[in-house]
Chain A
Amino acid sequence: MKITIQVMVPPYTYEDLDTALKIAEAAVEKGHEVNLFLFADSVLCINKNIKPLRIDRNIPNKIKEMISAGKIKVDICGICMDYRGITTDMIVDGAKPSGLPELAQLLATSDRFINLMA
């Protein structure tokens, strides 16, 4: 099954990225294909320059590992990036700047859509 998860709120301030990645892990474990769509402030999580405290989790690293392990595909709302000063050289390897046409495509082609509201 193809499952898309959309996140809207910023990482670290809220738990949504953590929730999304845990749902993704569990879905992949069961053989599903998972796409993550980053919308609005959630795009901040894709910045590889993020430096959390050492005792805290590193969300961009976690996303990078999941992408490189072929577990998830990540699309980022491009306008949302522009509004927050995130440029393509700042983003985690393998994540893809995209936009609403890609979100529309994901909504049209996914078997399941999980929205974590703002």
Chain B
Amino acid sequence: MALIIVKYGPNNPAERIKLESATENDDVILLQNGVYWILQNVKEHTKANVYALKDDFLARGYDESNSNVPLISYAQLIELIEKHPKSIG
């Protein structure tokens, strides 16, 4: 059970490994260019629960209807950080 931080998009091999090796007990936060995973239906690449940082998604020209994962604020990200003593980043 860990918080997994994904900051690069689907072209990054390390991010792919993080997503593919995650379990259903893990939470993934997509931030920065990691939000581009949303466009590739990120849930097909991981068993984990996936969230994305709303500011990073909207700033790249998308709106909330373009996302099939919950878009969260920095305050909500802190809640995920509080939840997980373990991290993969």
User: How far is A105 from B70 in the complex, measured between Cα atoms in Å?
Assistant: 35
Please tell me if the beta carbons of B87 and A25 are within 8 angstroms of each other in the complex: no
Q: Is the CB of B89 within 8 A of A117?
A: yes
Chain B 4-19, CB-CB to A under 8 Å as 1, else 0, gives 0101000000100000
Q: How far is the CA of A3 from the CA of B77 in the complex (A)?
A: 13
Q: Does B87 lie within 8 Å of A113, measured CB to CB? A: yes
Q: A112-B85, A115-B89, A116-B89 are contacts. A32–B78 as well, Cβ < 8 Å?
A: yes
Mostly, the B contact residues are: helix
State the total of A-B contacts with C-beta under 8 angstroms.
Answer: 52
**How many residues in B have their beta carbons less than 8 Å from beta carbons of A?**
18
Verify if A100 is at the interface (C-beta below 8 Å from B).
no
Q: List 5 A-B contacts (CB under 8 A).
A: A14-B32, A26-B74, A30-B78, A112-B81, A112-B85
Which residues of A pack against B, CB within 8 Å? 1, 3, 14-16, 19, 22-23, 25-27, 29-30, 32, 111-117
**Which positions in B face A, CB cutoff 8 Å?**
5, 7, 14, 31-32, 55-56, 73-75, 77-78, 81-82, 84-85, 87, 89
